Amino acid sequence: MVGLGRMGANMARRLARGGAEVVGFDSEADARAALVGTAGCSTVDDMEALIHALPAPRIVWLMVPAGEQTEETLAALTPRLLAEDVIVDGGNAHYKDSVRRAVELASYGVRFVDCGVSGGIWGLEQGYALMFGGSPAAARAIEPIVKLLAPTPDRGWLHCGPSGSGHFVKMIHNGVEYGMMQSLAEGFALMKGKAEFGLDVAAIAEMWRHGSVVRSWLLDLTAEFLRADSGLADIAPIVADSGEGRWTALEAIEQGVPAPVLSLALIMRFASQGKGDYTDRLLAMMRNSFGGHKIEHMAESSGKAK
């Protein structure tokens, strides 16, 4: 396992619990140290030691940030591997990069699997959803590992198709996730805003979890944190976007397929990051210019609830 951050380390632990022997590497000494003492897991200090520690044919699973860091890791790793070895990219890479990488690695005789991983911090205990692409031979090679990582050996994982398909499916998965999160957030905001009804949004979330059409894991998580704090006054209204939502929206444009919910959910994340502030200032000035509508200045609005 290369990359022992929050996801990679927990995946290593789950594999070890299932009986696999895992060799871990991370460029950060603290990340390596955190895995020391875990039964079934060992760590090494460099890539060369990692290769020597694994019997051939090797399976090397990457859980590193997409982009330049993935490119650098592959460049360091690939020349050291042998034909029939398998590299699994479990990061959130763009599927077109995965298609390219599969071709490049094939020139070394190295098999490549692109694997979308979902499950977050809960994956260690509950298992991960795994959607992967690659040749049938590469898929068969990682199947024993996938069965240990998944919620159960026979569900929660799928060989989606050829190289690139796993990361493509994960990209769409994350776009859908954006839409589901946005719709739940807007619904609860409307209920919270209906002050005259005095609605208990925590109680409503809990009730919806049982028998409702909208019940889901996202709703379960929402009910849990609303139960602890339904006001959320200390939470900054800023929502980051990881990149996959953008790729999903761009894919919709490329295909000419309407995806307004997924696209608008992405745009709302941009708005939460302050990227719409200048737009709003322009709108305020336009209203003032054509209708003489009052403009609020920062000093006037600073005391208002955000």
* CB contact at 8 A, 170 and 244: yes
Q: Which amino acid is at 247?
A: W
Strands 129-133 and 59-62: unpaired
299 alpha carbon, distance to own chain's centre: 39
Using CA atoms, how far apart are residues 205 and 221, in angstroms rounded to an integer? Answer: 10
φ/ψ of residue 15, rounded to 5: -60, -45
Beta strands in 73-214 (DSSP E): 86-89, 111-118, 129-133, 157-161
Structure letter (DSSP) for residue 274: T
- Residue from 72, 170, 251, 300 carrying the catalytic annotation: 170
Which 8-state DSSP code applies to residue 108?
A: T
Give exposure, 276-288, as e/b (b: 16+ Cβ within 10 Å): eeeeeeeeeeeee
Tokens at 164, concatenated: 């690139």
User: Exactly one of 28, 96, 143, 177 is catalytic; which is it?
Assistant: 177
CB atoms within 10 A of CB 190: 11
Tell me, yes or no, if 104 is annotated catalytic.
no
Q: Is 170 a catalytic residue?
A: yes
Could you give phi then psi for residue 78, rounded to 5 degrees?
A: -55, -45
**Nearest CA among 233, 201, 235, 106 for reference residue 163:** 106
Q: What is the dihedral of CA 233, 234, 240, 242, to 10 degrees?
A: -110
Catalytic residues: 170, 177
